[in-house]
Structure 1
Amino acid sequence: MKKNDIKALSVEQLKEQITAETDRLQKLKFAHAISPVENPMRIRQTRRLIAQLNTELTSKSRQA
């Protein structure tokens, strides 16, 4: 997801996206613990996306 896409989301969409990405991160971590994931960089990318979504959510909630 690009920065412009994240900025275009509403607060509700941001919250939904955060929960979806958190679930994805948890599944990736469990899969990686059992057997190595094909692309372990996806864990880092998902973590960073969650951080970007949280940052945008915080900035939008402060503006309101």
Structure 2
Amino acid sequence: MFMKIAEIREINTKELVERIEAEVAGYNQMVLNHSISPLDNPAQIKQLRRTIARMKSELRQRELNNK
């Protein structure tokens, strides 16, 4: 669920796009569940949001390097 940048760089681009979509869906579900009943560890939301940002940053960097 929570990945470091080194792990993200090892993933190929197609799989990275799929992982971003899956993580965003999971994030949205987690936020919805948290609004209904509090999570045991609300810091998970912050960690997941940052992981998604790392993935999107890596994807954008790959796009810029290919041009």
Q: TM-score range by the shorter chain?
A: over 0.9
Question: Which residue of 15, 34, 47 maps to 2:36?
Answer: 34
| Aligned counterparts of 2:65 and 2:10: Cα–Cα separation in 1 | 15
Equivalent AA in structure 1 for residue 16 of structure 2 = L
Tell me the TM-score normalized by structure 1: 0.94
Equivalences, count: 64
CA displacement 1:23-49 (0-9 Å, x = unmatched): 110110011000101110110011000
Q: What are structure 2's unaligned runs of at least 5 residues?
A: none
**2:55 aligned with 1:63:** no
Name structure 1 gaps, 5 residues minimum. Answer: none
CA RMSD, Structure 1 to Structure 2 (Å) = 0.7
User: How far off its partner does 1:57 sit?
Assistant: 0.1
User: By how many angstroms is 1:14 displaced?
Assistant: 1.1
In the alignment, which of 23, 31, 47 is matched to residue 25 of structure 2?
Answer: 23
Letter of the 1:26 counterpart: N
Cα distance in structure 2, aligned partners of 1:5 and 1:23: 20
Q: Calculate the TM-score normalised by the size of structure 2.
A: 0.90
Question: Percent identity over the alignment?
Answer: 34
